[in-house]
């Protein structure tokens, strides 16, 4: 019995001695290298260490220096100057599940993981100190530098730094989150069953600041409970549509409240300055929106998109399931002022303006305005009805060399004007009258031109058309059919007007001089697909004090 006792005591002492030697050796550079090679050879992962440290003052902690860990054949996933592993009893059943892991001065790059492999390390708590994180496929897609914070518990998946069920709090000196870059970022929240909740967001963004809270469900739908942006100064290389497109890349975005103050946004050919905006209870889903009891209040210093510019625009609107109520729109535009109010209804996609007023414009029409007039409207806008329109002291210019014109001090009014239907611009209903102090049509000067017309489904009826030229007066009436061929009938009478007043408007020169009385009766087609002149048929009678001429035009040519 004494022999057996001595044998087992000796064996126990030898085992203790071996453990002490192993303990000492593992804390040497040779031991760290041997352990690294053993893990790399026995598993599908590669490990590199420079030193393993243990201190009996903290017996449940092991410190690893110059730590590098990743999948065989791939760049490292986890690199840290120092890793502190907190041990727990659970490691007897799950050796790679630690009580705590502290990573210091390194990088976690989940982009280096193969799709079928998750990081095998887990912990009840992950602590980050001055780390860099690259996690592009996670519930919180991010790239961040100088990260400090914690995740509780930490069970990462192949593409997700946070795992599927965790609470987190972290700060970063620099972070790109879901494509948005910010500095001095603070994030608090949790993720559960692929549902991400950001209970507190704070960041310096584009030389301004951002605060708020938001959440995203498992299907990728975002809900912004509150977001406030102050003093944003954002420049982008994207045009306006590309800049707004990301909101359509997610299934839906719901905004309970968004506040933006003193923002300046700029792209290649667009800009918004001094923007103040409040948006409430609004959802954007795909290419459509939804809202119940929503509202928008917005004003800006300038809005520029290409050659289009608004100064001091103000927009106030209310959203509902029925559509949009535009309670106020006003802006300085083209050195004048434009005001409007009305509504857009979802059921018939009609924009109804109860009031439209334009005053003091100095506007040059774009070269392709005729082409724009003939283009179909977008699918969300089927018709445009203006119940009341007024115009005061406007200057309208067209510099098209084929037929330039200019109208000075243009005034007018209209009622119940249907300016678009079935996605096509036109004058489809209503009545209006306009007059100007002076006008020039293709180098022919007129004084006090005026026109009054009414429209219905069948035709546009010009009831009164008049203007002074020289010492004489032009008066006329016209009708334009609403069918696609746009049949035109024109009656024009002139008293004491120049004999060749019609030459600049397309009628061949007459062998007459001086003032004359004339009578013109023509018909033609204003079909958008064909030129006007070949369709014109009619008669012209011109009489001066000494001569008279009668001419007949057929298919745009004077008959001999």
Mean pLDDT of 151-156: 88
| Per-residue pLDDT at 302 exceeds 60 | yes
Over residues 481-508, the pLDDT tens digits come to 999 889 999 999 999 999 999 999 989 9
Report domain extents, the chain.
43-180, 458-560
| Per-residue pLDDT at 170 exceeds 60 | yes
Main-chain dihedrals φ then ψ at residue 422, nearest 5 degrees: 50, 40
pLDDT of residue 19: 47
Q: Identify the helix (H) or strand (E) that includes residue 32.
A: helix 29-42
Over residues 195-216, the pLDDT tens digits come to 889 999 999 988 899 999 999 9
Over residues 267-297, the pLDDT tens digits come to 999 999 999 999 999 999 988 899 999 999 9
Cis peptide before 181 (omega within 30 of 0): no
Under 8 Å between Cβ of 384 and 397: no
pLDDT category, 399, cuts 50, 70, 90?
Answer: very high
Main-chain dihedrals φ then ψ at residue 485, nearest 5 degrees: -70, -20
The residue whose two tokens read 């009668």 is: 550
3-state secondary structure of 9: helix
Which tokens go with 153?
């518990």
CB atoms within 10 A of CB 446: 20
Over residues 62-78, the pLDDT tens digits come to 888 888 888 887 888 88
- Residue 5 and residue 3: Cα distance in Å, rounded? 5
Under 8 Å between Cβ of 208 and 232: yes
Dihedral sign (CA 85, 87, 90, 91): positive
Contacting residues for 272 by C-beta, under 8 A, at least 6 apart: 263, 264, 265, 266, 300, 302, 303, 304
- Residue 301 and residue 49: Cα distance in Å, rounded? 59
Average per-residue pLDDT in the chain?
Answer: 88
Contacting residues for 532 by C-beta, under 8 A, at least 6 apart: 488, 506, 524, 525, 526
| Per-residue pLDDT at 155 exceeds 50 | yes
CB atoms within 10 A of CB 264: 20
Calculate the alpha carbon distances from 464 to 128, 258, 396, 404, 432 in Å: 81, 52, 21, 23, 11
- Residue 276 and residue 511: Cα distance in Å, rounded? 65
Region for residue 416 given its phi and psi (left: phi exceeds 0; alpha: psi -120 to 50; beta: otherwise): left
- Count of residues for the chain? 560
| Per-residue pLDDT at 430 exceeds 50 | yes
Over residues 337-357, the pLDDT tens digits come to 999 999 999 999 999 999 999
pLDDT of residue 27: 55
Which is more confidently placed, 103 or 74?
A: 103
């Amino acid at each position: 019995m004494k022999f057996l006792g001595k044998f087992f005591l000796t064996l126990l002492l030898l085992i203790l001695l071996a453990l002490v030697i192993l303990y000492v050796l593992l804390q040497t550079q040779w031991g760290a290298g041997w352990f690294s090679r053993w893990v790399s050879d026995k598993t599908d992962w590669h490990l590199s260490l420079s030193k393993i440290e243990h201190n009996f003052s903290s017996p449940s902690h092991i410190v690893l220096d110059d730590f590098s860990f990743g999948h065989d054949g791939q760049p490292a996933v986890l690199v840290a100057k120092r890793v502190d592993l907190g041990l727990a009893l659970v490691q007897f059943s799950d050796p790679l599940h630690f009580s705590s892991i502290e990573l210091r001065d390194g990088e976690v790059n989940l982009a280096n993981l193969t799709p079928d492999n998750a990081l095998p390390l887990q912990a009840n708590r992950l602590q980050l100190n001055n780390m860099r994180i690259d996690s592009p496929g996670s519930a919180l897609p991010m790239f961040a530098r100088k990260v400090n914070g914690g995740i509780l518990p930490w069970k990462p998946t192949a593409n997700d730094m946070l795992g599927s069920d965790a609470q987190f709090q972290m700060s970063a000196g620099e972070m790109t989150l879901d494509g948005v870059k910010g500095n001095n970022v603070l994030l608090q929240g949790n993720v559960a069953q692929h549902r991400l909740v950001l209970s507190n967001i704070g960041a310096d963004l584009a030389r301004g600041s951002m605060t708020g809270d938001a959440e995203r469900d498992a299907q990728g739908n975002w809900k912004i409970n509150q977001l406030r942006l102050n003093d944003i100064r954002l420049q982008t290389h994207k045009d306006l549509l590309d800049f707004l497109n990301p909101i359509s890349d997610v299934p839906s975005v719901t905004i309970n409240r968004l506040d933006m103050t003193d923002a300046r946004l700029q792209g290649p050919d667009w800009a918004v300055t001094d923007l103040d905006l409040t948006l409430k209870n609004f959802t954007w889903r795909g290419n459509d929106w939804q809202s119940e009891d929503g509202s928008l209040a917005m004003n800006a210093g300038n809005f520029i998109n290409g050659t289009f510019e608004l100064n001091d625009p103000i927009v106030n609107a209310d959203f509902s399931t029925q559509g949009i109520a535009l309670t106020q729109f006003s802006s300085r535009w083209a050195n004048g002022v434009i005001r409007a109010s009305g509504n857009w209804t979802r059921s018939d996609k009609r924009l109804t303006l109860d009031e439209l007023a334009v005053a003091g414009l100095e506007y040059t029409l774009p070269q392709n305005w005729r082409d724009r007039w003939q283009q179909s409207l977008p699918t969300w806008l089927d018709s445009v009805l203006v119940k009341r329109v007024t115009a005061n002291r406007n200057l309208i210019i067209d510099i098209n060399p084929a037929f330039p014109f200019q109208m000075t001090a243009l005034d007018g009014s209209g009622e119940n004007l249907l300016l678009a239907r079935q996605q096509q611009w036109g004058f489809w209903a209503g009545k209006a009258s306009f007059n100007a102090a002076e006008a020039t049509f293709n180098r022919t000067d007129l004084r006090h031109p005026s026109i009054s017309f009414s429209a219905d489904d069948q035709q546009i009826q010009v009831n009164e058309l008049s203007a002074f030229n020289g010492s004489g007066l032009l008066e006329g009436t016209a009708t334009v059919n609403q069918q696609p061929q746009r049949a035109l009938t024109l009656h024009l009478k002139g008293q004491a007007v120049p004999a060749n007043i019609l030459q600049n408007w397309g009628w061949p020169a007459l062998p007459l001089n001086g003032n004359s009385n004339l009578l013109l009766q023509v018909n033609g087609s204003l079909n958008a697909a064909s030129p006007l002149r070949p369709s014109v048929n009619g008669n012209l009678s011109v009489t001066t004090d000494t001569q008279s001429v009668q001419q007949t035009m057929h298919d745009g040519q004077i008959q001999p």
